[in-house]
Structure 1
């Protein structure tokens, strides 16, 4: 008989007998390089975790989402160790993994310079090469405070134990229950090299980090609040292989070329004058054209789908947002109030409370439902200065906002129709790869209403999502305070995902506003309210499209759809005649009659990403024709004017890309 104590665990779906004291790594026979952690009864653990009787143990590969997050978190620790070795007075903030990378915040006397980042990255590589071992140990509050006495931000996190939230990354430092510290130990001697407050898990050793790179540094407020000190944040990226990192860096390079802020300036579309304020855009004439075309097409589609157009003011009394609940749950994202006639008025952060008042303005019958109200409504949100980003994160925006009031019996069918309408319209703008995200409530106190209503609303959204055939990803806790939502996630031309349209089901706003309709049996019933933003905001969608197309908008959206380029001054009248024919057909066309040489005119049109260049010389004039030059540099000579006009009109009307 064996005298070695044994225990039973579950691996690969079957029961296994292992020696007592076995680690998760031993159970999994992990090499520590491809399998770098374990999931034990659903919880992520280090490979050094000693398994217990009856636990289910599963491998975590470095190339999985969880594996990458663990590896990036470990890279953040290496970054912090390198910084404190080079800058001994640096005090530690937090260092979580994030999408595609990691960061760490530091309190330092001076901002980091590019040369500093080079030194830090070099030291990180030395630490990685040393293969220092990550070792976890539990500590009491008193022990943690004693060991980290020189780290004021860590001491603050210890005081927050159990209440730290994932919104500021603090949950990677402390969690509910015991406190833990991770030691970085010398691979040979076991001597302590560095330590940090952290809940883990981590890689077995620093050597397991295959590829990383520091990207940039910048300011960040401690725990995301402008009331707190500003720290210096260093961002990095880390991947499971050098090949994957190279792919990511090339994607970043392409994304930089497509940055809508740069394209907006180069193409003279919009700007953010500092005299107006952060996050507040002005659209120039060419940008105004694109925006008008986007809105006009959307209006026509909404009219055809039975929507009714409304308009509401930009400000309102405080009491409206007290009734809706926004003042209680959304106040931090609203601009401060202004005093008018002895009372407080707010810039509206959303349109829904005002649409509720339109519904309530008179009696409603079931025969009117579903009632679909639509508005291009300007709203204002007090985004923190650190997150404002071009058109994709602004403080003043125009939402293509719809609110649908329907019966409970109509709810599921209406959501399905809405989702189909949304996806069709997004496809018309050139996006065609989607998945859905279902955001639901959790146990947070921010969510209002009864559980039964939430369950019914969530089930209706899920049924519509399943019916669409698209992949559905769960987002627990991501719902609005008044109801669950479906978000349409769209991939752009280089594979990045953008959250665009949202559909929210709301039983709570109708209750708070006491909305009613008369049912067929004469009783008074409460309608279901469905919130729907298609673009999200005009500004953000403009920025997304600009990056998706790299500025080369399809002909129907291009601010200038064709430009006439004469070989000489004598050919200008011929191109003006062609331009007049195009304008009669609704085409936005210009003739470049400047003193520039023809080749420079062509370069200018290419830089402005004009879809069609119409060249004309003596031969074209004689044949009553033009020569086509396309965006890709190809050319077709001697095209009869009528044929040229029809080609351009056909491309614009069919909304194709050229």
Structure 2
């Protein structure tokens, strides 16, 4: 007999070899029906697994978070079985569960599109009704290779398995190589939806075959599935790529180049206002703004170490007049040279150099995501050259600036990540262990002094030093780094930077790299998605739309309002088209213009303004001066 400890810490005795599902039924038949899998000694396992040792058993229901991955992995197999029936000759790659669902990669004899997904779903529902048992067994590598001899992808997966035995799962006529666990039968995974079709390189390598990837999602209840589909629909409406097109913020054209955004007039307004906003804050904190070229000599990047550690992410070098130049991926080397150009005393420090700089990185085409990830972007970048005794105060000041900016924009859902070197994989970093230990510990100490909650992430450091990243979850589910602070002892060494200390000796400064808005492009993408395009009034490309009810009687006064607002730098437009008033108001709302000003008889007679705010139905009538003062306050306060 085996001693099995249950979730409530009670201990039962069961016969060796008894299946977990049998144990569940003996405890509660209703509970057994709700179970998807079990956790035994800390590991998720099939309910059909026989117990062979003492241990702790926790029965995991379908609505338990731990079951989500299992449900979706099982649904990936369900979809694969449907594909096998519908498209004979299909070869099968991998079908893992992912954060919000699953996918499976196929080599299909014929091309499929999103229009084919309902047909696949219909076949999946047939298999659900068949309620086929899902059976697990083990085969030797030789037997497994014989079983999958016609599928080169499965053979490659089998070869990559370290063990001599291979896990197999079977449901009806469909068999797959898999570690599991899975639910007990196909009838238990009925709340699913296939979402999209895409292309994917086999095993993520661009040198391999391009397979067809089908994405889907599966949930424990119809209600949970319906809620998730509502979330996905909301994300579609929030996607900055859609909003950017609808609001005429930016555009792309393959003739210009993939990943190279062009900022339209509305988008340039937003960029300029954001630049002014952050530069004003920096100026008040003692930053000096500079401008450096977007090109750099290859020797500059060899000195900085980027050439050795970052070359693959840079555009190829251009040979000109016996020199090689590259489009810069970041700005720190230029700023190092700028600091080095004149002598500094310890009294001069800290020196805070800041720039809104254009940078270029050769991102893989598959990684390009609107303006969130591009090949040409602008950074709100800065480098602080300071003494060692100034590190804590400067680091605190930068952290406070980040928190102030996030407060201005109403950002609340963010986490601090301390990005550290991976000691097991040091070839991607330069510098010595002592400097790395010193800089990592200094960051930890500063964070403790600040009382900031953070988590650590190995392998996420810059190649020259550890950093504090601010991670946000975008409204459409992307994990994004918005701001970063990096501590660097390495580049001052490589560029031989010095200042004269109080003992009249040359010593090395420490450099703090920091970006508050980070990539301006990524920040705007995040902001569009966070606000669903309803930008703060001070940032809106068009702040007010003046709409005369009747051009014959109201146009002159409407023009007077437009002129009054423009003189105070309020971004205003007039809609004097020969259209119905309701149509013009609805169109201004669709364009997410903060204020629509309706000018009719009463407004002309009384010298007033009647406005409707975006997203509201009620109309408010105020004096011209009151409305003007309100709009000026929006722009001045930048809230």
Query: Do both proteins adopt the same fold according to a TM-score greater than 0.5, normalized to the shorter chain?
Result: yes
Match of 2:459 among 450, 456, 477: 477
Match of 2:576 among 590, 593, 611: 593
1:296 aligns with 2:276: yes
CA drift of 1:101 comes to: 1.3
Q: Specify the alignment match of 2:548 in structure 1.
A: 566
Give the whole-Å Cα distance in 2 for the aligned partners of 1:524 and 1:13.
Answer: 66
Give the whole-Å Cα distance in 1 for the aligned partners of 2:200 and 2:80.
Answer: 16
Q: Specify the alignment match of 1:279 in structure 2.
A: 259
Q: Specify the alignment match of 1:156 in structure 2.
A: 156
CA drift of 1:140 comes to: 4.8
Structure 2: which 5+ runs fail to align? Answer: none
Q: Specify the alignment match of 2:517 in structure 1.
A: 535
* Stretch moving more, 253-262 or 213-222: 253-262
Match of 2:609 among 606, 621, 626: 626
Give the whole-Å Cα distance in 2 for the aligned partners of 1:635 and 1:590.
Answer: 21
Q: Specify the alignment match of 1:183 in structure 2.
A: 169
The correspondence of residues 456-467 of structure 1 with structure 2, limited to 5 A, is 456-465=438-447
The correspondence of residues 428-577 of structure 1 with structure 2, limited to 5 A, is 428-442=408-422, 443-448=424-429, 449-465=431-447, 472-491=454-473, 498-569=480-551, 570-577=553-560
Q: Is the 8 A contact 2:440 2:466 kept in 1?
A: yes
SS at match of 2:491: helix
Structure 1: which 5+ runs fail to align? Answer: 162-173, 187-192
Q: Specify the alignment match of 1:168 in structure 2.
A: none
Q: Is the 8 A contact 1:321 1:353 kept in 2?
A: yes
- Closer, same or farther in 2 for the Cα pair 1:526/1:597, shift >3 Å? same
Q: Is the 8 A contact 1:626 1:644 kept in 2?
A: yes
Q: Is the 8 A contact 2:136 2:170 kept in 1?
A: no
Deviations 1:371-399 (A, max 9, x none): 32222111112222223221112111111
Deviations 1:337-392 (A, max 9, x none): 32223444322222223223323334444333333222211111222222322111
Q: Is the 8 A contact 2:608 2:622 kept in 1?
A: yes
CA drift of 1:36 comes to: 2.0
Q: How high is the TM-score relative to the length of structure 1?
A: 0.86
CA drift of 1:121 comes to: 1.7
Give the whole-Å Cα distance in 2 for the aligned partners of 1:510 and 1:489.
Answer: 28
Q: Specify the alignment match of 1:166 in structure 2.
A: none
Deviations 1:584-637 (A, max 9, x none): 322112233344443443233223222112222232222121212222343445
SS at match of 2:217: strand
The correspondence of residues 71-220 of structure 1 with structure 2, limited to 5 A, is 71-159=71-159, 161=160, 174=161, 177=163, 180-186=166-172, 193-209=173-189, 211-220=191-200
The correspondence of residues 230-245 of structure 1 with structure 2, limited to 5 A, is 230-245=210-225
Give the whole-Å Cα distance in 1 for the aligned partners of 2:52 and 2:302.
Answer: 52
Q: Specify the alignment match of 1:167 in structure 2.
A: none
Match of 1:340 among 320, 327, 335: 320
Give the whole-Å Cα distance in 1 for the aligned partners of 2:62 and 2:356.
Answer: 46
Give the whole-Å Cα distance in 2 for the aligned partners of 1:267 and 1:254.
Answer: 17
Match of 1:319 among 299, 305, 312: 299
1:652 aligns with 2:635: yes
Give the whole-Å Cα distance in 1 for the aligned partners of 2:9 and 2:320.
Answer: 67
Deviations 1:465-495 (A, max 9, x none): 5566665344343333333333323356688
Deviations 1:621-656 (A, max 9, x none): 221212122223434454221122122223333345
Give the whole-Å Cα distance in 2 for the aligned partners of 1:62 and 1:503.
Answer: 42
Give the whole-Å Cα distance in 2 for the aligned partners of 1:575 and 1:66.
Answer: 61
SS at match of 1:411: helix
Q: Is the 8 A contact 1:136 1:180 kept in 2?
A: no
Q: Specify the alignment match of 1:169 in structure 2.
A: none
Give the whole-Å Cα distance in 2 for the aligned partners of 1:33 and 1:359.
Answer: 66
SS at match of 1:367: coil
- Closer, same or farther in 2 for the Cα pair 1:362/1:142, shift >3 Å? farther
CA drift of 1:559 comes to: 0.9
CA drift of 1:146 comes to: 2.9
User: CA RMSD, aligned part only?
Assistant: 3.3
- Closer, same or farther in 2 for the Cα pair 1:408/1:76, shift >3 Å? farther
CA drift of 1:7 comes to: 6.5
Number of equivalenced pairs = 631
Give the whole-Å Cα distance in 1 for the aligned partners of 2:58 and 2:506.
Answer: 55
SS at match of 1:534: strand
Q: Is the 8 A contact 1:489 1:497 kept in 2?
A: yes
Give the whole-Å Cα distance in 2 for the aligned partners of 1:208 and 1:590.
Answer: 58
Match of 2:587 among 586, 598, 604: 604
Q: Is the 8 A contact 2:487 2:511 kept in 1?
A: yes
